[in-house]
Amino acid sequence: MQNVSQGKDAFHLALAGKSEDVPGCDDGCPDSCPLCEDEESLVQSKSRCWVIQDPDGPFSSCHSQIDPGHYLSDCIFDLCVSGGESSALCESIQTYAAACQRANVSISPWRNESFCGKAALCNCAIGLCAPRCWSGFPYVMP
């Protein structure tokens, strides 16, 4: 089991590189960016996003090519500020999966009926979907 404090640390690590510290860069928030400081939400988000960085998970073959660190931090933040929306989780994981595919890294299947389910199986790029996507479900380009 992962250290509970790692979720908060990863989240705060993501916030540490604030865009105002980089000349000519802004965070894209017109007034102020949303915050997620609830410890329980951070821990739950870390747990749900861990698949990105799991050394034994479906993306482990990609870790040496594409550092999962900022993808994990982004996932934790997005999931936390969305109130735990599964769509935010799936989109965050899909972003890392797509980066791995662009780097020509083969990843293991990561979607199933109970995790980023059937509806999401076919709304992805070729090579990122479960094989059953191609038989019986319409393919939709992202």
Residue whose tokens read 């000349």: 23
- Of 50, 54, 48, nearest to 79 by C-alpha is 48
pLDDT tens string 90-103: 999 999 999 999 99
Token digits of residue 89: 């989780």
pLDDT tens string 5-55: 444 444 444 444 444 444 554 545 556 665 666 666 666 778 889 999 999
Q: How far apart are CA 82 and CA 87, in angstroms?
A: 9
Of 60 and 121, more confident: 60
Q: How far apart are CA 53 and CA 92, in angstroms?
A: 12
Length of the chain in residues, anyone? 142
Contact between residue 121 and residue 133 where contact means Cβ atoms under 8 Å apart: yes
pLDDT of residue 43: 67
The domain segmentation of the chain, as residue ranges, is: 5-15+36-110
pLDDT of residue 61: 96
pLDDT tens string 50-84: 999 999 999 999 999 999 999 999 998 888 888 88
112: which strand partners?
A: 115
